[in-house]
Each structure stands twice: as C-alpha cells, then as structure tokens.
Chain A
Amino acid sequence: MAKAHLHRRYRFSASHRLHSEQMSPAENQSTYGKCNNPHGHGHNYVLEVTVSGQVDENGIVCNLVDLDECVQREIVTRFDLENLNMRPEFADSVPTTENLCTVVYDILKRGFGQAHLERVRLEETMMNAFEYDGS
C-alpha cells in the first residue's frame, strides 16, 4: 500500500479587526497598524487542506465528497461572509490569520476522521500565507 498526500483548496471571505483588549490604544496601533482600524477590513481567504493516508483499493486517500462536505459545513459555512471578531471561536483571542489557522486545524482535526490531517494553509492575500500542522 502506498501513502499519498491530498491537497484541496476552498475559499471564503470574512472581515476582521486586529485589536487586543490587553493593549493600550497606542500599543494596538503600533502592533497592528492599519489592521487596527475600528471598522475592520476583509480578505478573500484561500484555505488549503492537506490530508494523507494509504491509497485504498478505490485508488483514493479519502472520500473527496465527504471531505468537501466536512470543510464546507465546519469551516466555509461557519466563516464565509462573517465578521471573525464576532465569532465565539475568537471570544478570547485576536483573529489574526495565525490564530484562524490553528482554529481551522483544530476543528478539522476533530471533524474529519477518514484521513490524517497533515496541515492547513491559509492564504490571506496573494503575498501572505500561514501554515499549521498541529506540532
């Protein structure tokens, strides 16, 4: 049996504001710059999910329909066209893309058992990307 990695990309758009209650207005401004704008701003996020496993007798690592359904239900529906600051997942943390990355990883780790979750990668813009592998 051969092991393979499968990558699947999804898209969602959301707004956020980077602001920490633990910081003074001046520190928030110096830490987050334009991202501290009180009205927030948005991104078209690209989420790349990587799962791995043995290629089975059907020639697949996992059922792609099931993976798509899981990611749609657990991530895309949850975050698409939402304000991340208002979501309970970020009640105690700043919705940086680093933190969004770990939130998405933890949700998918719990929610998808058909293959090993290797990594999630979030592209915030064409120039910035973040990856988390649970380590």
Chain B
Amino acid sequence: MLYLTRKAEFAASHYYHNPELSPEENRRLFGKCNNPNGHGHNYVLEVTVKGEVDPRSGFVVDLKQLKETMHREVLDAMDHRFLNKEVAEFATRIPTTENVAIAIWQRLGPKLTNAKLHRVRVYENHDLFVDFYGEE
C-alpha cells in the first residue's frame, strides 16, 4: 500500500457562532473567534490517498487529476471566501477547523475514483491542525 500526500493552500475568513447559545455563552465558548465580522487564515490542506502502485505507469494515482479535483471541489469553493456566508456546508455547521476537514472529506471522497481517500489534514495555522479519516 502506497500513500500519496498532496498539499494545497487557501485563504478564507470565518467566525464561530452557535445560534442555539446565548451571546454570553458564544463569547465564553469561542472567545475572539465569535466576532461576527470574521477573521481569516492561510489554511494548508494535505490530502492523502492510498492505493497499490500501477505496475505499468508506476503511479498510485493520476496526480494531475487529483490536483484538478482538489482545485475544483475545494479551492474554487473556499479560497478567498467568507466560509460562514459563501460555502453551503457552513450555513448550518460552524466552520471550525474540524468541520472544514470533514466538509473537505465529504467533497473529495465521492469524486476520487482511482485511489482511496485516506486522510484530510487541515492546518488553520502552523500550530493548529486537524486530521479526519472519515466516519469510523
């Protein structure tokens, strides 16, 4: 089994707010991230796929296709966007790094045909990142 990891970057803004909580509870839970005007990050996305190496081509996956899929499904939707307002998933889910990783998994999983999605890693910054391996 061989694993290939492809990295990409996107910049986006967001804020954290749960409408079921009071303003005070939101502020206590999310701190400065609760500012409704939003704030931004340079996200780094690492997509890892796994598969057997094709003996003919020596490839585990068509990297060009993977790059295009990542661009089409993720970067075109999220790069230079306000996640809460412009990305459908976050109309009902808080765009935490956890939920961003899950949304990216759900976008990519069905679109990857020639290799299996193994892990989605999203860095919100150098010091904070989330791994999602799909539903257990």
Contacts and interface: CB of A to CB of B under 8 A. Distances in A.
Contact of B57 (A31, A102, A126, A128): A31
A31 B8 CA distance: 22
Contact size range, A = 20 to 34
Contacts of B2: 98, 101-102, 130-132
Interface in B24-78: 53, 55-60, 63-64
Interface string A113-135: 00000000000001111111101
Contacts of B6: 127-128
B1 interface: yes
B111 to A, nearest CB: 19
Size category of the binding interface on chain B = 10 to 19
Contacts of A37: none
B7 interface: yes
B64 A33 contact: yes
Interface of B: 1-8, 53, 55-60, 63-64
A133 to B, nearest CB: 7
Interface of A: 18, 20, 22-23, 31-33, 93-96, 98-99, 101-102, 126-133, 135
B57 A130 contact: no
Given A129-B4, A130-B60, A135-B1, 17 more contacts: A20-B57, A22-B56, A31-B59, A32-B57, A93-B55, A94-B57, A94-B58, A96-B57, A98-B4, A98-B53, A99-B58, A102-B2, A128-B7, A128-B63, A130-B5, A131-B4, A132-B2
A99 B1 contact: no
A128 B64 contact: no
A128 B58 contact: no
Contacts of A129: 4-5, 7
Nearest to B8: A127
Contacts of B8: 127
Contacts of A132: 1-3
Nearest to B3: A131
A135 B50 CA distance: 11
15 contacts: A20-B56, A22-B56, A31-B57, A32-B57, A96-B53, A98-B2, A98-B60, A101-B2, A128-B7, A131-B3, A131-B4, A131-B5, A132-B2, A132-B3, A135-B1
